[in-house]
Amino acid sequence: MRRRRSDEAARRSGNGGGEGPSAPLPDPKEDEVVGGRWRVGRKLGAGSFGAVVEVVDLDDAQNEEPEVRAMKMEARTRRSQLKYETRCYEQLKSVRGLPRVFDAGQTRDFSYLVMQHVGEPLDAMQERMGGKIPEKAAYVVGCQAIQRLKDVHAKGLVHRDVKPQNFCVLDGTVYLCDFGLAKSYVDGGAHVPHRDGKKLTGTPRFASLHTHAGVEQSRRDDLQSLVYMLVYLIRGALPWQGLGKGKKKEQSGGDRRSDKSERIAKAKAEAAATLCDGMPALQTMFESVRRLEFEQVPPYQLYCACLRAGIKRLER
Ligand SMILES: Nc1ncnc2c1ncn2[C@@H]1O[C@H](COP(=O)(O)OP(=O)(O)OP(=O)(O)O)[C@@H](O)[C@H]1O
Ligand SMILES: [Mg+2]
């Protein structure tokens, strides 16, 4: 499966990361054995910090149909993002629709996390379907994605990188993965305070307007990103795509990254009124999502009901 990196790739900052990709990236070869137990198969993805490969348990390898797992690997750095992600999965282990974790460890050069293989990522599915996912199918995915976010939020975490690459589909179930940027929004039983001046964490293409504006992310931002993701799946593109490229800031010393974020944010704000044209179910959800307050519990069930009504309308 080809892994498509978006032109507006995830910016890894915040929690466990911090070391940047300067350490050599793990590049496992097929048939290599990791941790004395896992035999490496084909590559599933390569991110800014490592790789995800298929593996089978050596104990299971003799069986006719060995269970294929997914192993995420990351260079060993002082503050491993993967260790942080492993802790998130531990915190979320009772949540349905997240990959189960089988093993985690370290070799001399890298850290690894072995998870349930949760099927095909949405970006690959979209590509396989010719670049667009039918509206009805996207709403079915959307309903399950809302449920995943609701359950993750109920455990005190926001995901902060909602995008097609981070949802996979297996046997009709939508799974949410990649908790490398997840963050607790609860502190000592209370919601974390509203803060601004934050650097953009996540993926600019799908980031909420509050995130562009530097506001601490909360539950509302995962839902705003989800609307952008659904529009992207249905239409095959978002109006602000490509704005990350080109045009350097004119004055010297300009911060090109924030310049890019500003351009995307401006286009997002301008596109808001027409973004969901012709898709009333998504339009209703988007209007509500945009009005959510920082600490507000999103009305998840209402959003699911909107999408279900959209499905019904399309079936008529
Ligand atoms: N458990 C899994 N089952 C199947 N595929 C997976 C699994 N985990 C990850 N993948 C695939 O590997 C890709 C990269 O994984 P992940 O998003 O966790 O890595 P990442 O380095 O954080 O990526 P990025 O920086 O692009 O967000 C995913 O987009 C997905 O295609
Ligand atoms: Mg990812």
Domain ranges of the chain: 20-116, 120-315
Q: Band of the pLDDT at 258, cuts 50, 70, 90?
A: confident
pLDDT for 46: 84
Annotation: CATH topology of 120-315? Transferase(Phosphotransferase); domain 1 (1.10.510)
71 alpha carbon, closest ligand = 1
Q: Which of 11-15, 61-65, 221-225, 300-304 shows the lowest mean pLDDT across its residues?
A: 11-15
Q: Looking at domain 20-116, does it have CATH number 3.40.50.300? A: no
pLDDT at position 256 is 64
The set of residues, in sequence order, having a beta carbon less than 8 Å from that of 260 and lying 6+ positions away, is: 8, 204, 243, 244
**Which residue has its alpha carbon closest to ligand 1 atom 17?**
178
Indicate if 161 belongs to the active site.
yes
Q: What angle do CA 174, 139, 286 make, to 5 degrees?
A: 115
Residue 304 has pLDDT above 80, yes or no: yes
Instruction: Indicate the Cα dihedral angle 169, 170, 175, 181, nearest 10°.
Output: -70
For ligand 1, is residue 298 a contact (CB within 6 Å)?
no
Residue 76 Cβ contacting ligand 1 at under 6 Å = no
Name the residue among 262, 308, 1 with its Cα closest to residue 146: 308
Q: Name which residue sits closest to atom 16 of ligand 1, judged by CA.
A: 178
Q: What is the pLDDT of residue 40?
A: 97
| Best residue among 55, 68, 72 to mutate for probing ligand 1, ranked by most atoms within 8 Å of CB | 72
Burial class of residue 170, CB neighbours in 10 A (0-12, 13-18, 19+): middle
User: DSSP labels for 15-54?
Assistant: SS--SGGGSPPP-PPTT-EETTTEEEEEEEEEETTEEEEE
The answer, yes or no, to whether any atom of ligand 1 lies below 6 A from the CB of 70, is yes
CB of 40 within 6 A of ligand 1: the answer is no
Matching CATH topology for 20-116 and 120-315?
no
Lookup: tokens for 79: 């503050």
Distance from the Cα of residue 160 to its chain's centroid: 7
**Confidence at residue 18, expressed as pLDDT on a 0 to 100 scale:** 43
**Of residues 161, 178, 221, 222, which has the active-site annotation?**
161
Residue for token digits 């705003």? 224
- Ligand 1 proximity of 45 Cβ (cutoff 6 Å): yes
For the whole model, what pTM was predicted?
0.91
Q: Is the pLDDT of residue 19 over 60?
A: no
pLDDT category of residue 6 using cuts at 50, 70 and 90: very low
**Ligand number with the minimum distance to the CA of 98:** 1
Q: Where are the beta strands (DSSP E) in 88-188?
A: 101-106, 110-116, 120-121, 157-158, 167-170, 173-176, 183-184, 186-187
CB atoms within 10 A of CB 167: 27
Summary mean pLDDT of the chain: 90
The mean pLDDT value for 91-96 works out to 97
> Ligand 1 mean position to 42 CA, how many Å?
14
Residues 6 or more apart in contact with residue 172 via CB below 8 angstroms: none
CA distances from 206 to 8, 25, 73, 303 (A): 9, 26, 25, 18
Task: Assess whether the C-beta atom of 215 lies below 6 angstroms from ligand 1.
Answer: no
